[in-house]
Amino acid sequence: MYTIHRIDHDSPVPFYYQLKQILVEEIETGHYEPGDKLPSEHELCHAFKVSRTVVRQALNELEMEGLLRRRKGRGTFVMPKKVSENLFQNLTGLYEDVAARGGMLRSEVRQLERVPAPIPVAAELGLREGDSVIVLDRLRFVNGVPWVVVATYLPYELCPQLLQEDMEDQSLYAVLEQKYGIRIAYGRRSVEATTATATVAQDLAIEERDPILLLRSTSYDEDDHPVEHFVAHHRGDLSRFEVNLVRRHNEGSGVPGVVPTMVTDAVSDSDRA
């Protein structure tokens, strides 16, 4: 049940850090796997002959780093590894990102139909309110774990045949490109931290008001025509986004042009497809 490692009580290295490294090794070597429950704080104190303060500090740091999840009244559990997704540089999405890491992505298609465009969607896609769009609503699973809820909208006239597609195991971008000759060249995306509503929490198998990442994105083709707009709710405990940054200089001044903002739109070449 317990690790064969021991805390070196004569070492100048803090006890909590030693315990933290021991637990990390146990997780990385597969002694504890995703979903496994760790021994209780009391059991860890007894096993490693340290105080509860030491145990709590080690567990708190591992939770902040996304390796553990602590549930009040239920215990401490090992979390699945986060999936890294690019927000800049590569035209890849969750489908490609998961496949590249040897994982399996499955989508539960909850809605695929022609509907009148809501006002915000029409504005993003350059349409009039009420113009026809295709809505593709999916609950997406990575290795069987609910990961993200995403609603994608496309102009109906762009690809009406999409309504006949089986989108459970396909990349939307691959379908658009390979079957309909629609190439997405670039996009604009915003990411914000928020909390899960009761509906989203139920979909993602988390608690209401748990942290999630809310993404909004609009993508364009090579002629600058809007192709799709999506709104996605990602589990905050499982998702990590990597952003490549470019430091630009103002022309003629030689002074770097850095403009800090409270809300930043990220130029994105990735998709939820």
Q: 10 Å Cβ neighbour count for 9?
A: 10
| pLDDT exceeds 50 at position 272 | no
At 59, is the pLDDT very low, low, confident or very high (cuts 50, 70, 90)?
very high
Find the angle CA(30)-CA(35)-CA(38) to the nearest 5 degrees: 75
At 178, is the pLDDT very low, low, confident or very high (cuts 50, 70, 90)?
very high
| pLDDT exceeds 90 at position 48 | yes
Sign of CA dihedral 247, 253, 259, 264: negative
Distances (CA, A) of 216 to 26, 70, 236, 266: 37, 29, 15, 10
At 188, is the pLDDT very low, low, confident or very high (cuts 50, 70, 90)?
confident
At 100, is the pLDDT very low, low, confident or very high (cuts 50, 70, 90)?
low
| pLDDT exceeds 90 at position 204 | yes
Amino acid at 43: E
pLDDT in the model for residue 96: 52
pLDDT in the model for residue 159: 94
Distances (CA, A) of 162 to 23, 130, 151, 153, 169: 48, 19, 15, 11, 14
Q: From CA 271, how far away is CA 273, in angstroms rounded?
A: 5
* Alpha helices (H) in the chain, listed in sequence order: 15-28, 41-48, 52-64, 94-100, 119-125, 172-180, 198-204
Q: From CA 183, how far away is CA 175, in angstroms rounded?
A: 10
pTM of the predicted structure, to 2 decimals: 0.61
| pLDDT exceeds 70 at position 180 | yes
Q: Which residues pair with 149 in a beta bridge?
A: 139, 233
How many contiguous H segments (helices) and E segments (strands) does the chain have? 7, 11
Q: From CA 80, how far away is CA 194, in angstroms rounded?
A: 21
Find the angle CA(246)-CA(247)-CA(252) to the nearest 5 degrees: 130
Which carries the bigger pLDDT value, residue 170 or residue 248? Answer: 170
Q: Are strands 105-116 and 184-195 parallel, antiparallel or unpaired?
A: unpaired
Domains of the chain plus CATH, in order, are 15-78 (1.10.10.10), 83-268 (3.40.1410.10)
For residue 138, the SS3 value is strand
| pLDDT exceeds 70 at position 92 | no
At 271, is the pLDDT very low, low, confident or very high (cuts 50, 70, 90)?
very low
Q: From CA 154, how far away is CA 167, in angstroms rounded?
A: 14
| pLDDT exceeds 90 at position 127 | yes
**What percent of the chain is predicted at pLDDT more than 70?**
78
Mean pLDDT on 33-55: 92
| pLDDT exceeds 90 at position 66 | no
pLDDT in the model for residue 95: 52
DSSP secondary structure, 252-264, as one string: TT--B-----SS-
